[in-house]
Amino acid sequence: MKQALLVFLGGGVGSVARYILSKWLNNLETSIPYGTLLSNIFGSLLIGLVLGYFAKTSNVSETQTLLFATGFCGGFTTFSTFAYENQVFLKNGDYFSFITYTLGSLVLGFLAVFLGLYISKLI
Q: At what angle do helices 79-91 and 34-56 cross, to 10 degrees?
A: 150
As a whole number of Å, the CA-based R_g of the chain is 16
Q: Is 77 annotated as a binding residue?
A: yes
Cα–chain-centroid distance for residue 40?
3
Q: Is 65 annotated as a binding residue?
A: no
Whole-number Å distance between alpha carbons of 21 and 19:
6
Known binding positions for Na(+): 74, 77
Annotated binding residues, written as ranges, equal: 74, 77
